[in-house]
Every structure is written in structure tokens, then in C-alpha cells.
Structure 1
Amino acid sequence: MAIYNQERFLNRIAEKLGRNRRTKGVIRPHYSFTPQWQVYNGYTQDELVNELKEQCARIHTLFKMATTETLPQVLFETIEELEGQSVVIWDDPRFDEYELHSVFQKWGTFLHSCVGPRNRRSKHRNS
């Protein structure tokens, strides 16, 4: 995954901290205890969905469930409810698998795409 403007961002953070940016000698910590990987171990798919639904409610995040068949309609209704005029997508084979590109094209939705070998951004209106 490409991170846009990473160097500029990190330089600015170092500047705001009043120091030179550290580019060498930074070592990712190794944790001997990692309980976060076991929290939902053993949950069924239904239990995981219920947990996600509860977590979304706690942080005031919209949760909608869809099947493969209802995904285009649920997606369209959600974009309409949120008064969305454009959608940001990335290079993911599931957009083709679920035929969402053709759905966006049918709706005339403005897409912001992060696609290509360097994740170049392209903007185009599907109509």
C-alpha cells in the first residue's frame, strides 16, 4: 500500500517537535504478549458480525449488512442517504467480482480511483 506524501508529513512532524527527523536506528518493537490476536479466536462468523455491529454502534458508525445479491442496492441506498456525490475506490478485484464498476457506471457516480502500479490517483465520472 502506498502512503502519499509520507516523507513530507514525517518531516513536518519532526519540525513541529523541534528536532531532526530520525531516519535510522528506529526499530519496531517485538512484543512478547499479544492478546489482541486472540480476542475473537473461536467466534463464529455470526458472532463476529454481531460484534462488529455492536462496535459500530458504540462509535456512532453506520452499519449495514448485505448479501452478494443485495450489495449493489444497499450500497446505492447508503450513498443516497449520505448524499454522496463521489466515491473513493482502490484497485481491488472484488469490485469486478461483485460487478460494482458497472453499478457505479449505471448510477453516474463520480469515482476517485487509486489504481495502477504506483497507486496513481485517477478521477473519472462514470456515466
Structure 2
Amino acid sequence: MTETQEISGLDILPQALRCPLLIATNDDKPLASISPTNGSDFELEQLYQALDCQTIEVVSIGETDMIFIIDEEGAINGDPQVNKLATSLYRFFDSDAQAAKSILFGDAILCHTTKLL
């Protein structure tokens, strides 16, 4: 279930702690809340459908309990689209040298680690 809503940049992490966010590659598309269909944690099929993919990758965000869930093959499938917002957030909240060079492709789900078991 997705629900569109306006969220400012500084409110993204606190919002994602309360409810996972789908961050689209399309800059014109607002952030959307996404909830696990079972009410507690995401099942693979829901993630595949939300991200329009067949495999997922979990990207830890520094020392936080937050993660990005992305299409594992997003950089090599069809016409890869850089997710500017997700990439910027990843680089901002993760001071690791690897994060500084990383680019996230495709739509991404930002959520707390407890939403993925």
C-alpha cells in the first residue's frame, strides 16, 4: 500500500522511522509511504513489486538502524536511472569512504532494519 505525501528533506529520516518511504527516481514524483502488507515487515514479493525488480539489495546507512532496499541489478538493467535523493541521503548520513563514491540506481525504499526480516 502506497500513500503519496509531501515531506521536506530534513524530515525524511524521522518520517522513515515511523513509516517506510518509497523514493522514486522521478524527481517530479513525491515521496510515498509504503507499509508492509502483513503489518510488520516486508515480504520479498511486495519488495519486488514495489521496486519493479527480481532481486533486491540491502544497503546499510552508516551507524544508524536505517537501510535502503534497492534493485540489486538497477545499475545494469535496461536504462539505469540514478536516484539522486536516495544517493544524496546515503552520502550525507554515512560518512564511510565507500558511501562517498556510491550511486544508488532505481527506486529505493528507506526504512528501519526491523521492517526487513
Higher relative contact order by CA 8 Å / sep ≥ 6: 1 or 2?
A: 2
More helix by share: 1
More strand by share: 2
Say yes or no: TM over 0.5.
Answer: no
Q: Could you tell me the TM-score, scaled by structure 1's length?
A: 0.27
* Larger Rg belongs to: 1
Q: Could you tell me the TM-score, scaled by structure 2's length?
A: 0.29
